[in-house]
Amino acid sequence: MRNIRHYATCLLCIFASLLCLPVMTTAQAQDFQPNYDEAKVGQYQLPELLLSGKRKRITTPKKWEKRRRPQILSMFAEHVYGRFPGKSQHMHMKVTSVDTIALGGKATRKQITVFFTEADDSTSMDILLYLPNAANKPVPVFIGLNFYGNHSTQADPGIALSTRWMHNNEAYKVVNNQATEGSRGAQASRWQVEELINRGYGLATAYYGDLEPDHDQGWQTGIRSTLQKELNIKPEEWGAMGAWAWGLSRIMDYLETDDQVNARQVIITGHSRLGKAALWAAANDTRFAMVVSNNSGEGGTALARRNYGETVERINTAFPHWFSPVYKNYNKNVQALPVDQHMLLALMAPQPLYVASAEDDQWADPKGEFMSAKAAEPVYKLYNKLGLGVEEMPAVNMPVGEHVRYHIRTGKHDITQYDWQQYLDFADKHIKGIGNTTLK
């Protein structure tokens, strides 16, 4: 009897440990104790922004664009995000629906499918586009990826319900990794479509899971596998972040073909992980006229060297699929990284850049986000543009800055109406007027 019990206990142990295996990384990530004490952030030195690889001082926009900018971009590709491929040769697009009386007649709603290969199959991305009907000329458009499908941005039965894999979410009625009718409009507060339309802007969005499902095996069904031949890049040469960023550039490709859009007034945005992707897209693709990164934190706007909130090691452990595998080499030695995130922000110059934090989002390190924006200023200065123009972090809900703007909003990790209002004000100031033409 004792032997049988012993045997059964052993089997149970083996079974339990087998069960534990796949969740090891998550468990390790859960054990992580973030530092929230400013006194324990530690000493660090940021890599030089304006010294070339040959240690020559960069003093003009021309030298920046010819020498330093390409060096920094390729260091980010090599050490952090992976390579950013060009567009697929056989890409083609189809407008699948147009509703000219959307939002009570104020807007035109279009749905477009971008097929990445010759075939009209699931290697594709669905774009949802709203344009203001009151416009008498091509309009500026905000673009950004969404977390839960295009149908989650508006409770409108005319929007195609995504059939892609997505994270389960009880509140959003995502069951068995599939959206349901109850998922419509689940994230509407994050997409202030009416306000944008009322102020003369369009909005283009697509589901990030169309490019790569956000889990560590997602690469097997996402474009890193399906397009590896077409784009001539192996799955391990980039990460999910790169795939999402690449998708943002493909939305831009569509917008360039739409007569109602002013393609010189396209503003790239993103929240959180998608705010990281927006930065990486804008670093590689300079067609975007303005960049907004909302609460993007580690791997986005926050300085990597500051040990506060999320760290390089934690992000690479919890989300092993997001970045290039090379980035993991810096898990325990972030000081050795040849770049830091202020250099990514500097790659946005001279385009206007908005960095936003939230007071209760300490995980993203608001101070590190501000300091990073501040440290990017010298490149704006090369172009004779004032960046933040302040030395200290502002009080909550007090946006600051000229060509680099920053606010820390009260409240949690989110993108709210307040955030959008600031982005619209910033765009009114810098974007309207660029490359204006009349409607054909």
Q: What are the residue numbers of the active site?
A: 272, 413
407 binds ligand GTR (CB under 6 A): no
Q: Closest CB to ligand GTR among 145 and 197?
A: 145
178 burial (CB, 10 Å; 0-12 / 13-18 / 19+) is middle
User: What does residue 384 show for φ and ψ, rounded to 5 degrees?
Assistant: 60, 35
**Interface with ligand GTR (CB under 6 A), residue from 107, 125, 315, 355:** 315
Name the minimum Å distance from CB 241 to ligand GTR.
Answer: 10
By CB under 6 A, is residue 272 in contact with ligand GTR? Answer: yes
Q: CA-CA distance, 61 to 346, in Å (whole number)?
A: 12
CB of residue 407 vs ligand GTR: minimum separation in angstroms? 19
For ligand GTR, which is the closer residue by CB, 125 or 315? 315
Query: Hey, which residues does 354 pair with through a beta bridge?
Result: 292, 405
Total of residues contacting ligand GTR (CB under 6 A): 6
| Residue among 239 and 297 whose Cβ is closer to ligand GTR | 297
| Nearest of 308, 316, 273 to residue 293 by alpha carbon | 273
Give whole-number Cα distances, 39 to 36, 204, 368, 408, in Å.
Answer: 9, 43, 14, 21
Considering only residues 279 to 298 of the shown chain, the ones binding ligand GTR according to CB under 6 A are 297-298
Nearer to ligand GTR, 273 or 405 (CB): 273
The half-sphere exposure of 422 on its side-chain side, counting CA atoms within 13 A, is 26
Q: How open is the CA angle 349-350-354, to the nearest 5 degrees?
A: 65
Burial bucket for residue 391 (CB in 10 Å: 0-12, 13-18, 19+): exposed
Q: Mask of contacts with ligand GTR, 216-255, x by CB under 6 A?
A: ----------------------------------------
Cβ of residue 273: shortest distance to ligand GTR, in angstroms? 3
Nearer to ligand GTR, 208 or 219 (CB): 208
Tell the smallest beta-carbon distance from residue 275 to ligand GTR (Å): 8
Q: How far is the CB of 314 from ligand GTR (least distance, A)?
A: 7
C-alpha angle with apex 352: 197 to 240, nearest 5 degrees? Answer: 80
What token pair was written down for 427? 């765009």
Sites of contact with ligand GTR (CB under 6 A): 272-273, 297-298, 310, 315
